[in-house]
Amino acid sequence: MSDLQARPEVFQNQPCLRLHHANGDAVLVALHGAHVLSWTSGGVERLYLSPEAVFDGATAIRGGVPVCFPQFNMRGPLPKHGFARTSAWTASGSGEDWLELQLHSSPATLALWPHAFSATLRIDLAPGALELGFTVQNTGAQPLDFALALHTYLRVQDLPGLDLRGLAGQPYWDDVAQTDRLETDVVIFEGEVDRVYQAAAEPLTLVDGPVQLRIDQSPELAETVVWNPGPTKCAAIADMPFDGFKHMVCVEAAHVNTPVTLAAGAEWTGWQRLIVVTPD
C-alpha cells in the first residue's frame, strides 16, 4: 500500500486506512468489510459506531457503514446481509480526497454464491460531504442477480426531536407492522422503525435539532431503508448498548425489492451522498 495517499492505521486491532481532507475532515475505513467506521466533519463525528461492536476480523461490525451485498437482510439463501461486510477487502488506490477498496470473487465467495465478480467501494471526501460509490462488475460468463444496501448509521443527538424530511407521498413496506403503507408526512422515530421506502426523487433532510444533514442517492438505488430498533429491540441486540437506539438512525441507499440483473461483462454503479447543511 506504499502508493496510497490514505494513511494506514490500526483501530481495535483491525487494519484500517484514514483519509484526511485539507480542511480537517476525515474518514476511517476498515479493510474488514470495506467498513467505513468514522466520518468527522467540522470536528464532529457524523456516524454512529456501537461501543459494543465486535472487532475480530470475522464478525460484521455494528455501526458505521456496513456494505450489504449481494443479499439484503434474510431475503435469500446467503448469510444475513450477504458476505461483503465480513470479507477482507484490498485497498486499490487513493488520492488527496478519495479512496477505493476492492473485493473479487474467490473460492470462499463462490462456495456461497456461484458468480464471478469484482466489487469496488469508492469513498470521496469533500468539505462537509461524504460520498460512497459502489460498483459491481460481472466478470463471469452468465448473468448475475444481486441486492445492495449501504447500511449507513448516522449519529444523532436528539432522537425524540428527530425527523426525516422528503419521503412524504412515498410508498413503503413497514416491516414492524408487516404491511404496505404510504408516508404522509415527515418520518418520526417513536418505537421501532423498520421501513423500505420507494426512493424519493429529491434529496432527504435529516433534522436533528439545529443540525441538518442532506442525504442523496443515485437513481440506480431504487429504495431507501430507514431503521431504528427502538428500546425493546435494541436491548436484545448483543453488540449494542441498551440505550444505543437514542444515538443513531439508519438511512440506507438500497436496491432490495427486486434484484439488479447484471449481464456477463456488464458494470453497475450506485452511490449515496451525505452533506452537512451549514446554518445561514
Integer Cα distance of 164 and 249 in angstroms: 10
Residues in the chain predicted with pLDDT less than 50, given as ranges, are: 1-2
Fold of 7-277: Beta-galactosidase; Chain A, domain 5 (2.70.98)
Name the percent of the chain in helix, strand, coil, to the closest 5: 10, 50, 40
Can you read off the three cell numbers belonging to residue 223?
429504495
Q: How many other C-beta atoms are found inside a 10 Å radius of the C-beta of residue 83?
A: 21
Can you read off the three cell numbers belonging to residue 114?
456461484
pLDDT for position 3? 60
Specify whether the CB–CB gap between 245 and 228 falls below 8 A. yes
pLDDT for position 38? 98
Can 115 be counted among the known catalytic residues? no
Q: Which of the residues 100, 223, 252, 255 is marked catalytic?
A: 252
Integer Cα distance of 90 and 118 in angstroms: 12
- Domain spans in the chain, listed from the N-terminal domain onward: 7-277
Integer Cα distance of 85 and 87 in angstroms: 6
Place of cell 466533519: 41
Q: Which of the residues 21, 151, 247, 255 is marked catalytic?
A: 151
Can you read off the three cell numbers belonging to residue 159?
432522537
Q: Is the dihedral of CA 104, 107, 112, 115 positive or negative?
A: positive
Residues near 169 by beta carbon (within 8 Å), at least 6 away in sequence: 182, 183, 184
Can 151 be counted among the known catalytic residues? yes
**Sequence letter at residue 148:** L
pTM: 0.97
